[in-house]
Amino acid sequence: MEQKLFVMSETWPLVAPFRISRGVKTEAQVVVAMLDCLGVRGRGEAVPYARYDETVETVLEAVERLRDDLAGGLSREDLLDSLPAGAARNALDCAMWDQQARWKGTTVARLLEVPENQKVVTAVTLGIDSAERMAEKAARLRHCPLLKVKLDREDIIARVSAIRKAAPKARLILDPNESWDMDVLREVDAPLAALGVDLLEQPLPAEQDDGLAEFQGQVPVCADESCHTRQDLAGLKDKYQVINIKLDKSGGLTEALALKKQARKMGFGIMVGCMVGTSLAMAPALMLAHDADFVDLDGPLWMARDRTPGLSIQDGIIGPLPTGLWGSGAGGAV
């Protein structure tokens, strides 16, 4: 039975510019892989990321190189050795999981023995803006249980103070996207703890985070850009308390599941995150989310339009996974 591959790039406009410390996005450029065997199709969406030297073109090329291997029956286990961790492997791995569930007439959740029809709290993200404008958005989202705040090196305490005043009950994750150094971190740690910040995500550049080993901060620190696969965990143990698992970093759900299991054994807290993509990219990550300490899968909220069917995100609650989107035995529109 020959496995047929279809791979394409898509551009999805954002509802508003999304600003982080390293730039501004106005659209999501994604790669979708589709596998078809005797009419049973599985899909996976990945987001090429320039921070990891990926482009749409390089990801498309990497997927295309496996066309013959896929036709010959390449398995998920073989895929781990055929492509490095990254967006290309993620698209194919998630397509394989989706196809397997459809082939068996079941769901990926049942295959993995994780809860079905789950709803979980997801962070809702505030892009970088002035303290006043970030506070205005936080006020509109104050009923959401968890907010994620993008930051750079400017006006850190002023911005977080304004957000905390506007949303006094929300839990807060701060994400400087590698834009700080140890001097900044030492200066803001105690004030951020006093403001009730729950988590600080990747404050330092991944290649310059050795100072965290001696740092005894009050706010737990999460590894994002520093953590891709299981091979990274040993080097993170004395620096970070939490790791952020993203399928585009791990190279798919298969490695992400193994990463989560090993990280738990080593005592790390778990965050499940995402790139800015559609519901098709978020759906597989929900397989990791049911018992995660933090979930950040609000990518679809940034879309001017989304997949049909798409994930529901209401008041900071995401789910359940709709039939036909991904990972179920039933079909559905794209």
Mind listing the pLDDT tens digit for each residue in 158-201?
Answer: 999 999 999 999 999 999 999 999 999 999 999 999 999 999 99
Please identify which of the residues 150, 165, 169, 265 carries the catalytic annotation: 150
> What average pLDDT does the segment 199-224 reach?
97
CATH no. of 4-108: 3.30.390.10
Q: Which 3 state secondary structure label does DSSP give 81?
A: helix
- Residue-level pLDDT at 22: 78
Please identify which of the residues 246, 249, 261, 265 carries the catalytic annotation: 246
- Kindly report which listed range (4-8, 18-22, 24-28, 214-218) carries the lowest average pLDDT score: 18-22
In the chain, what are the domain boundaries? 4-108, 120-318
Q: Is the pLDDT of residue 308 over 50?
A: yes
- Residue-level pLDDT at 24: 85
Question: Per the omega criterion (within 30 degrees of 0), is the bond before 309 cis?
Answer: yes
Mind listing the pLDDT tens digit for each residue in 70-124?
Answer: 999 999 999 999 999 999 999 999 999 999 999 999 999 999 999 998 999 999 9
Give the residue from 299, 255, 289 showing the smallest Cα distance to 96.
Answer: 255
Do the Cβ atoms of 84 and 30 come closer than 8 Å?
A: no
Mind listing the pLDDT tens digit for each residue in 314-331?
Answer: 999 999 999 999 998 764
Q: Give the per-residue SS3 of 182-230.
A: HHHHHHHHHHHHHCCCCEEECCCCHHHCHHHHCCCCCCCEEECCCCCCH
Mind listing the pLDDT tens digit for each residue in 121-132?
Answer: 999 999 999 999
Q: Does domain 120-318 have CATH number 3.20.20.120?
A: yes
Q: Is the pLDDT of residue 334 over 70?
A: no
Q: Is the pLDDT of residue 333 over 60?
A: no
What is the reported pTM? 0.95
Count other Cβ atoms within 10 Å, centred on residue 170. 23
CA dihedral 205, 282, 29, 156 (to 10 degrees): -40
Give the chain's end-to-end CA distance (angstroms, integer).
25
Q: Give the per-residue SS3 of 136-200.
A: HHHHHCCCCCEEEEECCCCCHHHHHHHHHHHCCCCEEEEECCCCCCHHHHHHHHHHHHHCCCCEE
Q: Which residues pair with 5 in a beta bridge?
A: 35
Catalytic: 246? yes
Interatomic CA distance for residues 138 and 131, integer angstroms: 10
- Residue-level pLDDT at 330: 60
Give the residue from 312, 313, 306, 314 showing the smallest Cα distance to 333.
Answer: 306
Catalytic: 150? yes
Fold identical between 4-108 and 120-318? no
Residue 180 CB contacts under 8 Å (≥ 6 apart), including other chains: 153, 203, 204
Residue 104 CB contacts under 8 Å (≥ 6 apart), including other chains: 111, 329
Locate all alpha helices (DSSP H) within the chain, ordered by sequence: 56-64, 67-71, 76-82, 87-104, 108-112, 131-140, 156-166, 182-194, 233-236, 247-250, 253-265, 279-285
